[in-house]
Amino acid sequence: MRYQRLTQLVLGLSLSACLASASSLLGQEPERLGINLSVGGNSQVGVTYQLSSGFALRPGVMFGWSRQVPGPNVSTTGTSYGGFLDALFMLSRAPGVRPYLGAGGSYVFQHGSGGANAHTAGGSALVGVRARILERVHLYGEASLRYSHYRSSLTGLVTDQLSLNTTPLAVVIFLH
């Protein structure tokens, strides 16, 4: 119950911040849509929807698969998939290097062999820098403070975690 309220609070604050700042940030530049790719703890593929020169949304999906063989004739497999949404607020309108702040939320479902299911809900605050390499190609890196709540339906295990994560290098390729 406590994690649901905390997750709802983080997501609610993120959405409120997006809506409050979107009205002043929209309409300053044509919209752009880009594909972003990053590899870190999980491989992620998403899009960056640049709504104006000062505001962007970054939805995405993640997927993972694992297999463990602890002994002869014994193996377990696991699949995880989920989605996330980040709101990014540009701190500079300069065309080259642009620092930004952001907030986001995520949900990941894990399914393992033997009927083991679990889910992780989380929220994050992030800071990053995006650099234009070519007109449509930008590199970015960021650091985030992330809260996550994990719950296993099979064992009842509940874990709350606060972590500092980094994405040292990622790319966004704008389509237009």
How does pLDDT run along the chain (176 residues), one tens digit per residue?
A: 554 554 454 444 444 444 444 434 444 456 888 988 877 655 677 899 999 889 999 998 888 888 888 788 878 888 989 999 999 999 988 888 999 999 999 999 999 887 778 999 999 999 999 999 999 999 999 999 999 999 988 788 899 999 998 888 889 999 87
> How many domains, in total, are found in the chain?
1
pTM of the shown model: 0.74
What is the CB-side half-sphere exposure of residue 139 using CA atoms within 13 A?
4
State the maximum Cα–Cα separation within the chain, in Å, rounded to a whole number. 62
**Which tens digits make up the pLDDT trace of 88-135?**
999 988 888 999 999 999 999 999 887 778 999 999 999 999 999 999
Q: Residue for token digits 């377990």?
A: 76
- DSSP states along 93-143: --SSEEEEEEEEEEEEEEEETTS-EEEEEEEEEEEEEEEESSSSEEEEEEE
- Could you tell me the CATH number of the domain that includes residue 94? 2.40.160
- DSSP states along 11-43: HHHHHHHHHHHHHHHTTSS--EEEEEEEESSSE
What is the CB-side half-sphere exposure of residue 174 using CA atoms within 13 A?
19
Domain that holds residue 32: 2-174
Q: Residue for token digits 């702040």?
A: 101
